[in-house]
Chains A and B, each alone.
Chain A
Amino acid sequence: MNTKYAYYPGCSLHSTGAEYDVSFKKVAGKLGVELAEVPGWVCCGTSPAHSASHLLSIALPVKNLSLVETMAKDVVVPCAACYSRFKFATYEMGHDNKLAEDVKEVIGSSFQNKVKVLHPLEIFAQIPPDALKAQVKENHKDKALKVVCYYGCLLTRPPKVMQFDDVEYPMTMDKVLENTGYQILDWSYKTDCCGASFALSETDAVLTLTQKILKNAKEVGADAIAVACPLCHANLDTRQTDINAKYNTDYNIPIYYFTQLMGLAFGYSPKEMGVNKHLTEATMNV
């Protein structure tokens, strides 16, 4: 198994999703996965870029991939939004010759399109379950924590581009967390949209969509929701007070990055995993 990867944190993991960055690095280290941050990486452009120019939206991730190419490694991209833009970039570069030529001219480099883009979930899913279980601490307090896994929209869709697990009913995160000693519950909102990039512009849409996600999580009896994307985390974690005010509800469901849950099971303290950075505070004794 390849255990050395180039690491593209993206803008969020350096700011609003700092706890995802910290927990991913610690957990990866524990499992023998080496990460080297891509030097000089730039923003992937996210939704604003593809809403403004198709060419720009492919050029920005390809610029980053060309930097990765010089490192001769595959790249791991934890933010689902960046991951989606990177996958779109590799797909389009392979399917649209005219665009590929334009992109190379724009970024001023020859690009081979040889880099494989991976999400941390794909890397952890390759690790044998026993190796994961071996890291779980005996006295890990939250074996009883009931978790639902939320993948959001971009990890799996559209499948011909993403090629990540089953498009409507993925199981990768469920399995990784199950092997890390959590009780995983089945639910209906695994891949529904949380409002993604509308966080600051159309906040009401975020409230409408996340409310449904929280409702279903509560209905099935979840103590916590695990996520794999800083946008999902922000939308679900920071808006529960607003949702409660708008819908007259009393949601107080902690939202964890799946890497935080792994780290907690491996014996790291909540502080080391950045759990104290959440706005909806964890009330259970992790």
Chain B
Amino acid sequence: MPTQATVMPDAKFLKQMDDKIKVNVNLCFQCRKCSAGCPMAYAMDYTPAQLIHAIRLGLKDIVINSKTMWMCSSCQTCTTRCPQEVDIARVMDTVKILAVAEGIKPPVSSVHTFNKAALRNIKWLGRMYELGMIGDLKMRTFEFFKDMGLGMKMFMKGKLKIIPSVSPGRTLTTWKIFSRSAKKDRSN
């Protein structure tokens, strides 16, 4: 007989989620409509409904180590269709943020690496500089040849600029917004 893992609901985690999510996951009655319509469910380890259920049970380990929220494309289908008005897409974001705060190495590292590269780009340049971001991404993922051909084609079509659009005023603006909101996030 396969051994079954014993799960210990984590009360502190439940409280953490309650404080941060601002969505009442307890309204979920497990109709699974969110999962039925989720275009990314095929690539997740737990369906959106299962993840919501795991949160309700306080199964912190399962939740923060899941692939599910990293494979969520934020398409808002679940949130739109939930008969109980649970904002599942918002829950996905919150779980990502919590997992990172807990120091989890995201199981879908490509998404997290991309997000970090994009945010660095916005913070320091004020606007997205695609070529710079792709360079940054390649330095961190070591996937130097992935999409090289496509990149070249786009470049030839004038879709990627060589020179970033930089303005000191704008950089200062985004830099301030990033630092201040990080500070607020820490104190909240």
Residues of A in contact with B (beta carbons under 8 Å apart): 11-12, 14-16, 18, 40, 42-43, 45-56, 59-60, 63, 96, 102, 105-108, 153-154, 157-159, 167, 192-193, 195-198, 200-203, 205, 208-209, 238, 276-279
Contacts and interface: CB of A to CB of B under 8 A. Distances in A.
B34 interface: no
B173 A55 contact: no
B159 A46 contact: no
User: Chain B CB within 10 Å — which of A46, A154, A201 has the most?
Assistant: A201
Given A42-B127, A46-B118, A53 B185 contact: yes
User: Chain A CB within 10 Å — which of B75, B93, B182 has the most?
Assistant: B75
A185 to B, nearest CB: 22
Nearest to B150: A238
Interface residues of B, number: 61
A120 to B, nearest CB: 20
A277 B159 contact: yes
List 8 A-B pairs, minimum CB-CB distance, nearest first: A11-B128, A153-B75, A193-B75, A157-B76, A201-B114, A48-B115, A48-B118, A201-B110
B119 interface: yes
Contacts of A167: 80
A200 B75 contact: no
A279 B73 CA distance: 24
13 contacts: A15-B130, A16-B154, A18-B158, A51-B74, A52-B119, A56-B178, A56-B181, A59-B177, A102-B188, A106-B177, A196-B73, A203-B146, A279-B154
Contacts of B97: 51-54
B184 A105 contact: yes
Given A51-B97, A201-B111, A45 B40 contact: no
B79 interface: yes
Given A200-B114, A202-B110, A205-B73, 10 more contacts: A12-B128, A16-B130, A42-B126, A43-B122, A46-B118, A49-B119, A51-B96, A52-B97, A108-B176, A167-B80
Nearest to A47: B74
